Structure 1
Amino acid sequence: MTTEQQAVLPARPESPRGGTGPAAARVPGGRTGPAAGLLRTARPRQWVKNLLVAAAPAAAGQLASPRTAGQLVIVFTLFTAAAAAVYLVNDARDAEADRAHPVKRLRPVAAGDVPVPLAYACGGLLAALAVAGAAAFCNPMTSALLIAYLAMQLAYCVWLKHVLVVDMTVVTTGFLMRAMIGGVALDIPLSRWFLITTGFGALFMVAAKRYSEAVQMEGAEGGRGASRALLGEYTTGYLRFVWQLAAGVAVLGYCLWALESGGVAHSALLPWRQLSVIAFILAVLRYAVFADRGAAGAPEDVVLRDRALAVIGLVWAAMYGLAVADL
């Protein structure tokens, strides 16, 4: 199990040959080749999360620079390689356990489409290339941040996912590192309000996801603990408390940042920075609707599939852009 993965428990697919081993775990239509299996194991659907590398440059109003755009493409690629390395090592390590799971048994490594040694080798190679690439094309701090991310995520796979509260903290920190690395690579100072809002915003989504998984698992066969190592140890009441607390702190941090910036600039038509608070709070409230229903399983799915939330996000982005440009 990885740090940023949606837990879903549909009915267990039956293999025409029966059993639960690699042969039974293959998707209909036969096994895929190792190359396709490696790509699937790298979780392309999760790569959208790495767009957070643009958060700090966007907050600083530096996205329009060609140098910034080129550097962000490099950082995005490096972080994607690092995250893929973690997925590969994780799936290789959990291959035997995944074969007994109704959904994870379909993963390429568990299904036997990708040999375990190959998954380990590719994961190690990607991790080394990501760190070396950061050292070559960015600055030493970017390389150090990637090393810290890899160490933390691998420690999560081996041990930290079994420690209450720490497991959610590690996942949250992974999101925060994504948001930080763009600024680190471009030598952009990271304000305390940026870190507070981003960190607690990430915790809000992580806790909401855990809460949704717990709600969905309550009536599922095998209990809630069948999905995540610690899910059965959390109560839904506690997880609800965490996501509500995190949402409140994220909103407070954003409001303090917006108000700290002062009044309207000479060239600005309206106080866009302060007005963006309205859109930010509406976005949090809209996301909380799905969290409260137990339907916030994957943040990227909620954000991309809900039209109202997408519109609110665009309005917030427009307001923020006007604030940065002093229009």
Structure 2
Amino acid sequence: MASSAAYIFNDILDRHADVNHRKKCTRPIAAGTLDIRTASILCVLLIVFSLYLAYLLNTAFFLLIFGYFLLNGAYSLFLKKIPVLDVCILVSFFLSRLFAGSVVTGIILSTWLIFVASLVALFLGFCKRRQDLLLCFTEEQGEPYVRKYSPGFLNGVIFAIAPVIMGSYP
């Protein structure tokens, strides 16, 4: 529910850019099949219900979900436009799910799991930025802020992370 609320919030903010994107134009808000008012009400209900259920489950879980909403809001509003920080925040979203599961179940996460999950999330984040950058160059699509990345930087980071991921498996 929390992730759905965050995605709806982001889609509301990005709807004007998404209309012109070859894939994102089919999303309900960009396509106009879900109006802004309904999407906004749904987003608020999901946020309130998520926080309420999180509070009932566990105080630490509630704080994680609350922090997730705050960071996701800041990300959607302006942090996603800052290169490298945007991917680091995406990594934190992946890890927050891992930590939330740990808090609710009481299962202690190993350092190895956190390390590998961080590396995989970094890898996926930079691969996504590389793909977005290619779209900017080849199809005049993609997010304009992705142009702040250079292909050489993205390739270097991706090729540096990949062997570390492979080497981290026993």
Equivalent position of 2:19 in the other structure: 99
Structure 1 residues 229 and 153 mapped into 2: Cα distance closer, same or farther (>3 Å)?
Answer: farther
Q: Is the 8 A contact 1:204 1:244 kept in 2?
A: no
Q: 1:121 aligns with which of 35, 38, 41?
A: 41
Q: 2:149 aligns with which of 209, 215, 234?
A: 234
Q: Is the 8 A contact 1:208 1:239 kept in 2?
A: yes
Equivalent position of 1:250 in the other structure: 165
Q: 1:171 aligns with which of 76, 81, 90?
A: 90
Equivalent position of 1:145 in the other structure: 64
Deviation of residue 216 (structure 1)?
Answer: 4.5
1:225-273 Cα distance to aligned partner (Å, 9 max, x none): x412422111121111112222344345x35xxxxxxxxxxxxxxxxxx
Deviation of residue 155 (structure 1)?
Answer: 1.1
1:84 aligns with 2:4: yes
Q: Is the 8 A contact 1:196 1:250 kept in 2?
A: no
1:202 aligns with 2:117: no
| C-alpha distance in structure 2 between counterparts of 1:115 and 1:122, whole Å | 11
Deviation of residue 110 (structure 1)?
Answer: 2.5
CA RMSD between the two structures: 2.0
Equivalent position of 2:79 in the other structure: 160
Runs of 5+ unmatched residues, structure 2: none
Q: Secondary structure at the match of 2:21?
A: coil
Q: Is the 8 A contact 1:95 1:109 kept in 2?
A: yes
**Corresponding pairs, count:** 170
Equivalent position of 1:109 in the other structure: 29
State the identity %. Answer: 28
| C-alpha distance in structure 2 between counterparts of 1:103 and 1:204, whole Å | 22
| C-alpha distance in structure 1 between counterparts of 2:144 and 2:135, whole Å | 16
**TM-score, normalization by structure 2:** 0.87
Q: Is the 8 A contact 1:200 1:250 kept in 2?
A: yes
| C-alpha distance in structure 1 between counterparts of 2:144 and 2:30, whole Å | 18
**Given residue 124 of structure 1, which amino acid in structure 2 is its aligned partner?**
V
**TM-score, normalization by structure 1:** 0.48
| C-alpha distance in structure 2 between counterparts of 1:215 and 1:99, whole Å | 19
| C-alpha distance in structure 1 between counterparts of 2:125 and 2:43, whole Å | 25
1:42-71 Cα distance to aligned partner (Å, 9 max, x none): xxxxxxxxxxxxxxxxxxxxxxxxxxxxxx
Deviation of residue 167 (structure 1)?
Answer: 0.7
Bigger helix fraction? 2
Q: Is the 8 A contact 1:204 1:246 kept in 2?
A: yes
| C-alpha distance in structure 2 between counterparts of 1:83 and 1:195, whole Å | 20
Runs of 4+ in 1 over 6 A off after TM superposition: none
| C-alpha distance in structure 2 between counterparts of 1:217 and 1:97, whole Å | 13
Q: How does 1:1-327 map to 2 (within 5 A)?
A: 81-136=1-56, 138-220=57-139, 222=140, 226-252=141-167, 254-255=168-169, 277=170
